[in-house]
Amino acid sequence: MTAKMYYDADVSLAPLQDRTIAIIGYGSQAHAHAQNLRDSGLDVVVGLREGSPSRAKALQAGLRVASVEDATKEADVVMLLIPDEHQPAVYEASVAPNLTPGKTLGFGHGFNIHFGRITPPEDVNVMLVAPKGPGHMLRRVYAEGAGMPGIFAVHQDASGGAREIALAYARGIGCTRAGVLETTFKEETETDLFGEQTVLCGGLTKLIQTGFETLVEAGYQPEIAYFETLHEVKLIVDLIYEKGFAGMRHSISNTAEYGDYVTGPKLITEQTRETMREVLGRIQRGEFAREFVAETEAGYPNMKRWRTEMNEHPLEVTGRRLRDMMPFIEKKELEV
């Protein structure tokens, strides 16, 4: 069955008009949500901790800023958009005491609700609205008059109007310009974690790294290996993004297309599929969530070590040098 998509024509902003929306945080997603909602004519306040370096950025963008506590007290809708691992502490200290009956608590990812790390009171709405792309692109396409597809879900409907509020929010940030579809917190959380780990991040980066290492070990120049296993990935992904597999295969050489069909199944085997099932099972059972929470509480010892090791890997060393020779690549400092 084809999923139903909701567009601007299907959704009204009325459920959010004459109401205040608090955006908690001002990072990648939060800054885009706040500015898009404001430009959609809605009343927005950004909730930030005292001393937050993001305060100046939000003020410069023309947004109202308050403490997390004051923003939550004032708002009818509270959207929690700080990192997953920090949400429970901030929620308990600054949000929960100021949630009154009838308010709406929103998330951009279902992690903490689905895995029981946050348990809102029964007399508030709990919703999820998640654009399917990074925040800077959400803001850019909105400013250009377009939109980014998204998904929404309702975990708890205390007022009887939570679904309409979620849809209105999706319209406010521009997602209904491109279309949004309905899901559940469970489906969003488990599929998002699975996609990140097996394909988008874990799978892709390890495939690139292993390909690079194989060529260098065989005696080929690291610069050539970098171009063949990493640099050209964007070209292929862009074609897939724009035209699907068929369009990509139409645009590449016959040699490349034939090698695609012959070699792909040798790399991604039934054993790979079984490993993916195991990964999904760990996610579904909450094992990954517990492991990640433990890593967070320990101060990220493994993540820090892995970051250092990868930063010193010949693939990264070679890539930094080659990218400096490519003036067409926009140079941006990574934000903390």
Residues serving a catalytic function are: 109
Whether 147 and 176 have beta carbons less than 8 Å apart is answered as yes
Q: Is 304 helix (H, G, I), strand (E, B) or coil?
A: helix
Candidates 102, 95, 154; CA nearest to 123 is: 102
Amino acid at 63: L
Which residue is associated with the tokens 């492991």? 291
Exposed/middle/buried for 23, CB within 10 Å: 0-12, 13-18, 19+? buried
- Report the 10 Å Cβ neighbour count for 47: 31
The angle formed by the CA atoms of residues 82, 68 and 286, to the nearest 5 degrees, is: 35
Whether 108 and 84 have beta carbons less than 8 Å apart is answered as no
Question: Rounded CA gap, 263 and 153, in Å?
Answer: 40
Whether 194 and 279 have beta carbons less than 8 Å apart is answered as yes
Which 8-state DSSP code applies to residue 9? G
Question: Rounded CA gap, 111 and 177, in Å?
Answer: 26
Question: Rounded CA gap, 315 and 141, in Å?
Answer: 32
Which residue is associated with the tokens 């890997």? 313
Bridge-partner residues for 141, per DSSP?
Answer: none
Q: Is 134 helix (H, G, I), strand (E, B) or coil?
A: coil
First vs last C-alpha separation in the chain: 42
Question: Rounded CA gap, 13 and 111, in Å?
Answer: 27
Candidates 117, 83, 125, 279; CA nearest to 190 is: 279
